[in-house]
Chains A and B, each alone.
Chain A
């Protein structure tokens, strides 16, 4: 054992058992839903009546589901790109002493601390009073960028603070212009961090639900489509759709974690 703390075998066994229970608690629902997505039954639940891929065929052929998937993917890409770009500039600004630093910080974290429903309400009322109609590419995009921006900033903040400032100063002393310093020194150093922030932002946008529910109008994203699917009537293809959402979320988050680990 690496750690010097002496522990009795009983204590170690209890801790392992406890950890096992927690992991079971975390995985049981995910595994259940995955198994049920292959269940040849119109009822979402047991008994298991046989293996089928028909629910996945439904998910990938029903036009509204395919549209919702496409909406979510493209909205995720666009809002992650805008969010990560804004956040990169903002994080770079925070390397220097900043006027009204404290107040600015509270403004930045406001989208995180506001309850999700309130975050939806304020934009819904705002656009409503300004008579701007709700749609995926206007109001929902604004909500998504607002949501991912602070998280991208928080994940970039340590990245821009970590690297050696003397590299920049040295380049400046040797006659490099500010633009050259940024392109040749700063950007290569923080690029993995930006990619990680982008992937993080994408997965946040892809999974976003409550703000989108308020702001998307008639064009639905995947979580909103999924929501109506399970709330209006529990359709038999719901588990298959859940599995598709799970796969996209896990793959992008895993990629983000790997990139981020490499950058540290």
Chain B
């Protein structure tokens, strides 16, 4: 090891020590805990596979894992479709307008997701704005309940909370396209649709992939949105993990559920890295807050 890389190691060592101690080691503890036995007197240090057997044999947890995966994929697709027209719109604005519109886009996303999710309750609830409007218009006589506490409300909340994570990388990719390219294509007789499919789509693909990875990860781990807006039918995998610690006091089973979730996330990232370098995804995110 030469002098400069030894210096680099010295500079990096406080952070790396921190991350090894508080991320890597606790991950190992989680896997160990997932293999311990829960008795009436709490955790016993007897190794067992019973937690994983229970997880995979009960239809409840596997079904919920698939449902959570499905919600994450569908939310990613919805944000992707919503992001493109807006990204194209933004990229066509003059620099000053673009800056202002981008700032206005960032503002709501700077607010924590608990508050932003909560804000939907007085809109969708029984005493909420939508019910009040429908009552005033005479469309309904009684406030309706079905606006909240179902999967639709979860989708709405998730799209609301995570849209920017898709929009930003897609916009940055589209905004980087040289306008001369469009001009050349149109001069050569390409239709607008062809310009979109042959220039905009391929050139924004890395941005779309980055956004998709971020939105998937965030949605897959969602806890607050399903808890506040989902009700009994809208719960997701994170909610049952939390219940093992806050309600059932079964750390071993909670750790087994967490281990499986982590495995799915790692598999997802390994799969994604075949299409895009993870370094590009995370290092390009560095510009998010600008």
- For A20, the closest partner residue in chain B by CB is B89
Docked CA distance A216–B208 (Å):
37
How many whole Å from A160's CB to the nearest CB in chain B?
11
B interface SS class: helix
Q: Tell yes or no: A118 within 8 A of B by CB.
A: yes
Task: Say yes or no: A36-B122 contact (C-beta < 8 A), given A96-B8, A98-B8, A158-B286.
Answer: yes
Interface residue stretch chosen among A1-9, A50-58, A164-172: A1-9
How many whole Å from A155's CB to the nearest CB in chain B?
5
What B residues does A99 contact at CB under 8 A? 1, 5, 9
What B residues does A245 contact at CB under 8 A? 111-112, 115
Docked CA distance A157–B282 (Å):
11
What A residues does B27 contact at CB under 8 A? 110, 122
A interface SS class: helix
What A residues does B262 contact at CB under 8 A? 114-115, 118
A264 with B290: CB separation less than 8 A? yes
Considering the complex, which residues of chain A in the window 1-32 have a beta carbon less than 8 Å from any beta carbon of chain B? Answer: 1-7, 11, 15-16, 18-19, 22-23, 25-30, 32
Q: Tell yes or no: A73 within 8 A of B by CB.
A: no
Q: Tell yes or no: B78 within 8 A of A by CB.
A: no
What B residues does A208 contact at CB under 8 A? 112
Task: Say yes or no: A242-B119 contact (C-beta < 8 A), given A86-B15, A207-B113, A226-B114.
Answer: yes
Q: Tell yes or no: A70 within 8 A of B by CB.
A: no
How many whole Å from B191's CB to the nearest CB in chain A?
11
Q: Tell yes or no: A149 within 8 A of B by CB.
A: yes
Query: Interface size for chain B: under 10, 10 to 19, 20 to 34, or 35 or more residues?
Result: 35 or more
Instruction: Choose one: B180, B223, B251; the contact of A117 (CB below 8 Å).
Output: B223
- For B68, the closest partner residue in chain A by CB is A115
Task: Say yes or no: A18-B125 contact (C-beta < 8 A), given A87-B15, A104-B12, A207-B111.
Answer: no
B283 with A154: CB separation less than 8 A? yes
Instruction: Choose one: A95, A121, A234; the contact of B245 (CB below 8 Å).
Output: A121
- For B185, the closest partner residue in chain A by CB is A5
Interface string of A243-256 (1 = CB under 8 A from B): 00110011001101
Task: Say yes or no: A22-B86 contact (C-beta < 8 A), given A107-B19, A146-B18.
Answer: yes
- For A234, the closest partner residue in chain B by CB is B121
Q: Tell yes or no: B44 within 8 A of A by CB.
A: no
- For A145, the closest partner residue in chain B by CB is B18
Docked CA distance A93–B25 (Å):
23
A3 with B182: CB separation less than 8 A? yes
B183 with A146: CB separation less than 8 A? no
What B residues does A256 contact at CB under 8 A? 289
Docked CA distance A121–B282 (Å):
24
Other than the known A107-B24, A114-B23, A260-B289, what 20 A-B pairs have Cβ atoms closer than 8 Å? A18-B85, A45-B129, A86-B15, A86-B18, A93-B9, A93-B11, A96-B4, A117-B241, A118-B261, A121-B241, A121-B245, A121-B255, A149-B15, A155-B289, A227-B224, A234-B121, A242-B119, A254-B107, A254-B110, A257-B103
